[in-house]
Amino acid sequence: SAVISQKPSRDICQRGTSLTIQCQVDSQVTMMFWYRQQPGQSLTLIATANQGSEATYESGFVIDKFPISRPNLTFSTLTVSNMSPEDSSIYLCSVSGGRTEQYFGPGTRLTVT
Amino acid sequence: AQTVTQSQPEMSVQEAETVTLSCTYDTSENNYYLFWYKQPPSRQMILVIRQEAYKQQNATENRFSVNFQKAAKSFSLKISDSQLGDTAMYFCAYSTGTASKLTFGTGTRLQVTL
Q: Which of A61-75, A90-104, B49-63 has the lowest mean pLDDT?
A: A90-104
Please give the Cα distance from B52 to B74 (Å, whole number): 13
Residue B106 host element (H or E): none
CB-nearest to B102 from A99, A102, A109 is A102
**Which among B44, B50, B107 is the nearest to A42, CB-wise?**
B107
Q: Cα B37 vs. chain centroid, distance in angstroms?
A: 6
pLDDT of residue B111: 97
- Rounded to an integer, the average pLDDT of B14-33 is 95
Specify the amino acid at residue B40: P
pLDDT at A82 over 80: yes
User: Chain B residue with minimal CA distance to A4?
Assistant: B44
Per-residue CA distances from B47 to A19, A79, A101, B30, B78 (Å) = 28, 26, 8, 23, 15
Predicted local distance difference test score (pLDDT) of residue A101:
81
Show which residues on chain B lie within 8 Å of chain A, measured between beta carbons.
Answer: 33, 35, 37, 42-47, 50, 52, 91, 95, 97-102, 104-107
**What's the rounded mean pLDDT across residues A19-28?**
96
Which range, of A86-100, B12-26, B52-66, B75-89, averages the lowest pLDDT?
A86-100
- pLDDT band for position A110 (cuts 50, 70, 90): very high
Is A98 in the B-facing interface, judged by CB distances under 8 Å?
A: yes
Residue B98's pLDDT is 67
Q: Kindly list the residues from chain A whose CB atom is less than 8 angstroms away from the CB atom of residue B102.
A: 33, 43, 45, 94, 102
Residues in chain A: 113
**Closest to A25 in 3D by CA, of A70, A80, A86:** A70
**Per-residue pLDDT averaged across B21-43, rounded?**
93
Q: What's the rounded mean pLDDT across residues B43-60?
A: 92
The more confident residue out of B43 and A17 is: A17
CA distance A46 to A105: 15
Residues A105 and A23: beta-carbon distance below 8 Å: yes
- Which pLDDT belongs to residue A55? 92
A15 to chain B, minimum CA–CA distance in Å? Answer: 24
The chain-wide mean pLDDT, for chain B, equals 94
List pLDDT tens digits, range A25-48: 999 988 899 999 999 899 999 999
Residue contacts between A and B (CB atoms, under 8 Å): 58
Is residue A6 within 8 A of residue A75, CB to CB? The reply is no
Residue type present at position A2: A
